[in-house]
């Protein structure tokens, strides 16, 4: 239920099981997909097929 003055458009968080599915594009390497769930956050890594890796230097300061 939304607070006064606000609208609740979509709520995916509820009690019980939760399931979400979607289709991956042709350029995703499905054999290398990784997922982790920690502290209520789902992180999904979708590597692209034949992607060129590039190192980017990071400076602190």
Residue 35, domain member (yes or no):
yes
Cα 36 from Cα 15, distance rounded (Å):
21
Q: Is the residue at 46 inside a domain?
A: yes
* 37 falls within a domain: yes
Please report whether residue 43 resides in a domain: yes
- Position 34 scores a pLDDT of 93
Number of domains in the chain: 1
CA dihedral 23, 26, 32, 37 (to 10 degrees): -30
Give the position of tokens 């692209």: 48
* 29-58 residue pLDDT tens: 999 999 999 888 888 999 888 878 788 899
Report if residue 57 sits inside a domain: no
pLDDT tens digits for range 4-38: 777 666 655 666 777 788 888 899 999 999 999 98
Q: How far apart are the first and last CA of the chain?
A: 44
Q: 40: domain range?
A: 20-52
């Amino acid at each position: 239920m939304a607070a006064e003055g606000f609208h609740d458009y979509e709520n995916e968080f509820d009690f019980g099981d939760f399931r979400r599915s979607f289709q991956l594009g042709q350029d995703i390497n499905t054999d290398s997909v990784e997922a982790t769930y920690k502290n209520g956050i789902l992180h999904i890594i979708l590597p692209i097929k034949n992607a060129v890796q590039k190192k980017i230097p990071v400076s602190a300061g």
